């Protein structure tokens, strides 16, 4: 039996990419426990890197902390590439990005401040 959602015209296996290059994953692919832990949701989608971080940690992401991609590739959501850091640490980690690509640095920082 295939899930009904596969018939939906927008259904692409439950994954989308948002404007910032993050991968979004449909809630129907998560357990209720995972949905509760990720807690930052965009409609029916959650950000895959936050989901993978929660799976790796086995607990919710701490308040005030964000998920950083070690190789700075927002599409590499391998658990080994993800680390939970404070917003301050995150800014430090991306400090050197500024010289090369200020635009990316800015969007990452703004993202960190929102989440
Ligand atoms: Zn980062």
DSSP string of 31-90, one letter each residue: -HHHHHHH--EETTEEEHHHHHHHHHHTSPPPTTEEEEETTS-TT---GGGEEEEEHHHH
Task: Copy the structure tokens of residue 30.
Answer: 């998560």
- For the chain, report the end-to-end CA distance as a whole number of angstroms: 37
Q: From CA 81, how far away is CA 102, in angstroms rounded?
A: 22
Q: What pLDDT shows up at residue 91?
A: 92
Q: How do residues 54-64 score in pLDDT, each as one tens digit? A: 999 999 999 89
DSSP 8: S
32 Cα: distance to centroid of ligand 1 (angstroms) = 27
Q: What pLDDT shows up at residue 71?
A: 94
Q: What pLDDT shows up at residue 48?
A: 94
43 Cα: distance to centroid of ligand 1 (angstroms) = 23
Residues with pLDDT less than 50, the chain? 6, 102, 115
Nearest to 52 by CA among 36, 70, 65, 34: 34
35 Cα: distance to centroid of ligand 1 (angstroms) = 22
Q: What pLDDT shows up at residue 3?
A: 53
9 Cα: distance to centroid of ligand 1 (angstroms) = 33
Q: What is the pTM of this model?
A: 0.71
In order of start, what are the domains of the chain with their CATH numbers?
Answer: 4-114 (3.90.75)
59 Cα: distance to centroid of ligand 1 (angstroms) = 20
36 Cα: distance to centroid of ligand 1 (angstroms) = 23
């Amino acid at each position: 039996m295939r899930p009904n959602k596969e018939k939906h015209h927008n259904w692409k296996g439950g994954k989308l990419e948002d404007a910032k290059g993050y991968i979004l994953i449909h809630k129907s692919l998560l357990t209720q426990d995972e949905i509760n832990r990720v807690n930052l949701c965009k409609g029916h989608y959650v950000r895959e890197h936050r989901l993978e971080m929660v799976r790796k940690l086995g607990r919710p992401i701490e308040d005030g902390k964000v998920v950083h991609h070690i190789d700075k590739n927002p599409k590499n959501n391998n658990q080994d590439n993800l680390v939970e850091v404070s917003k301050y640490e995150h800014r430090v980690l991306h400090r050197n990005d500024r010289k090369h690509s200020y635009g990316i640095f800015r969007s990452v920082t703004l993202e960190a401040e929102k989440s």
